[in-house]
Amino acid sequence: MSHRPVVTRIAPSPTGYMHIGTARTALFNWLFARHHGGTFLLRIEDTDRERSTSQATAAILRGMTWLGLDWDGEAVSQFDQKDRHAAVAHEMLARGAAYKCFASQDEIEVFREAATAEKRSTLYRSPWRDAAPATHPDARYVIRMKAPQTGDTVIDDAVQGRVTFRNDLLDDMIVLRSDGTPTYMLAVVVDDHDMGVTHVIRGDDHLQNAARQTMVYDAMGWDIPVWAHIPLIFGPDGKKLSKRHGATGVEEYQAMGYPAAGMRNYLTRLGWSHGDDEFFTTDQAKEWFNLEGIGRAPARLDFKKLENLCGQHIAASDDAALLHELEAYLAVTDAPPLNDVQRDTLSRALYCLKDRAKTFPDLIEKAEFSLNARPVIPDDAAAKTLDPVSRSILKTLTPQLQTGTWTKETLEPFLTDAAAAHGIGFGKLAGPLRAALAGRTATPSVYDMMLVLGKDETIARLNDAAT
RNA sequence: GGUCCGUUCGUCUAUCGGUUAGGACAUCAGGUUUUCAACCUGAGAAGAGGGGUUCGACUCCCCUACGGACUGCCA
C-alpha cells in the first residue's frame, strides 16, 4: 500500500505473432500508467530459448508502435537478467525458502502418468524437500521453491476481488532449471520487483500464478504489487480465439485497414466501461481509465462494432493525419504508394470520403474516382446509365460548364436547370454523371466529385463518356 | 479428476438492494436523399436454473447447469 508512482509493464513472450489479447493487455497497462502519469515498461519474456525468436520480438515492437502504445525506456530482455534470477534462486536457497531437487524429468513424468491413470492428484511432492545436504548426490538438480503446505494464500485482486487458494494444493514450483536458467515463475517476480512494477495487469490465465508468485515475494520479503487479472478475449462465437476466427494477430488488424485510434477505442471498451461512453478519443481514455471499470467476464470480439467505431474515428480524423495513416496502411500491405498527383487529389477528396468509410480499404475503394487517371472505365452497372440519350445530354453540358465558375453554389443550380431543360429530374442526370466521373453507380456526391476533380478533368471525363 | 474464475438484449455493456432494467453495435420498419454510406424516427430484444437472506433482489449467500483458466525443468 505504498504511494510510489505507478509502474506497469507488458511482458509478452516472443514465440510467434503478437496476439490481439496481448495488445489489449498492453493497452490497459499503458492507459493505466498514462492516467496516473506513471511509467509503462516493455519486457520481452524470452527465457524460453527454444521458442523465442527475434522475428517475434520485432513483431511485438511493430504491433505496439502501430497501436501507439509508447513504452518508457528500452524494451528489455528478460533473458539478459538470467544471472540475477539465478542469484535470487540461490538467495532463496540460502534463506531456506528453496531447496535442491534431484528428481529427474523422467521420474516426474512417470509419477504424473501413474497419477493421471489412477485419477489421483498429479501434484508432485519432491522427496528432496527436507533431505539433508549430506544425502545430496553429485548430479544435476533444479531449485524448487519450498512452498508452505498449510494455510491459505490470499490474492487481493483489483478485478477479481479476494481470491483464496489452499496451500496444500500448490506444489513446490521449480524456480531454477537444471541448466541454471530461471523459470517464468521466478523471472517475472524478480523482474517486476527490480523494475519497480507497482501494478500487474495481465490476463486472468495468470490468476493462479499470482498465488505462487506471492510465495516468492514473501520468501524474499518484497512488496507485492497490486494484481489486476483481466478476462480473456473470445472469438465472435464465444470460443477461445483461434486462427479459425480469422484474425488473432495485431498485425492482421492493421493489414485489414482498421485505424489505430479505432482499434484502441474498441479494445479499451471491450471489457472496460465508463458509463455509457462508447466513442471516445485516446486522450479521454487516458483520462477515464481505471481498474474499477474492468469487467470480470470474458468478452467476445465483435467486428461490426469495431468497424462502426473505426468509421467514426476516420470521420473524426483531420485530413493530414488520415492521409498519413492511409499511406502507412498502403505500405504495410505492400500496395503501390501514392504518386504526387494521387496524394494531392486524394487529400482534397478526403472531406467527402471520410464520413463514409469504416476502414482504409473501404476508403480507398470509395476514393477510386480521385485516384484513377482517365480514361474512366465504367463498370457494367455504370455503363448501362450511359445510354445514347444520356450521352447526348452530357455532350450539351460541357461547353456551358467551360464558362461557369467552379463552386458548389454555381454548379448546383446549373445541373438542376440542365436536367430540367431535358425534362428530367436531377436524380436521372446524376446517374450518367457518376458513370462518367467515377465509372461507378455508387460514389460521393456528384458536386463533390466535380469540385475535387476540377473543371478541366471533369469536362474531359464528361467528354470521354459522351463520345 | 482437482483448484480457481465467470454467467444482464444476438454482441459489448450500465446498474454498485428499491429503475417502466438504460446505452451502443447489429437486426427490422419507416423517413430524408443525388447513388452508396451517413443521418432522423420507431420497433423487437436480457438478468442461466433452483433455493435462501431481506419489507424489497440483476445486485448478497448456497446449490446446480453451462463456459473458461490453471494443473510443465512454457510463458
Q: Active-site residues of A: which are they?
A: 243
Question: Are A197 and A39 contacting, i.e. CB atoms less than 8 angstroms apart?
Answer: no
Structural domains of chain A, with CATH = 7-74+186-234 (3.40.50.620), 90-176 (3.90.800.10), 244-360 (3.40.50.620), 380-466 (1.10.10.350)
- Lowest average pLDDT, out of A55-59, A244-248, A277-281, A329-333, goes to A244-248
Q: Which of residues 192-231 of A touch strand B (CB under 7 A)?
A: 204-209, 231
Q: Which nucleotide is nearest to A238 (CA to C1')?
A: B67
The pLDDT tens digits for A191-226 are 999 999 999 999 999 999 999 999 999 999 999 999
pLDDT at A8 over 70: yes
Arithmetic mean of pLDDT, A139-154: 94
Confidence band for A442, pLDDT divided at 50, 70 and 90: confident
Q: How far is the CA of A413 from the C1' of B31 (A)?
A: 25
**What's the pLDDT score for residue A3?**
65
pLDDT at A2 over 70: no
Element (H, E) at A163: strand A161-166
Element (H, E) at A230: strand A226-230
Asked if A22 CB < 7 A from strand B, the reply is no
**What's the pLDDT score for residue A246?**
67
- Lowest average pLDDT, out of A159-163, A406-410, A432-436, goes to A406-410
Residue with cell string 479521454: A284
Can you tell me the ipTM of this complex?
0.95
Asked if A144 CB < 7 A from strand B, the reply is no
DSSP percent split of chain A into helix, strand, coil, nearest 5: 50, 10, 35
Asked if A104 CB < 7 A from strand B, the reply is yes
Average pLDDT, chain A: 92
Asked if A390 CB < 7 A from strand B, the reply is no
Backbone φ and ψ for A204, nearest 5 degrees, come out as: -75, 5
Arithmetic mean of pLDDT, A262-278: 95
The pLDDT tens digits for A361-371 are 999 999 999 99
Angle between helices A360-371 and A340-353 (to 10 degrees): 120
Q: How far is the CA of A295 from the C1' of B54 (A)?
A: 27
Confidence band for A1, pLDDT divided at 50, 70 and 90: very low
The pLDDT tens digits for A68-108 are 999 999 999 999 999 999 999 999 999 999 999 999 999 99
The more confidently predicted of residues A422 and A329 is: A329
Q: Which nucleotide is nearest to A428 (CA to C1')?
A: B34
Arithmetic mean of pLDDT, A242-268: 90
Q: Which nucleotide is nearest to A429 (CA to C1')?
A: B34
DSSP collapsed to 3 states, A260-279: HHHHHHHHHHCCECCCCCCC
Arithmetic mean of pLDDT, A137-151: 94
Q: How far is the CA of A150 from the C1' of B26 (A)?
A: 52
Overall size of chain A counted in residues:
467
Asked if A337 CB < 7 A from strand B, the reply is no
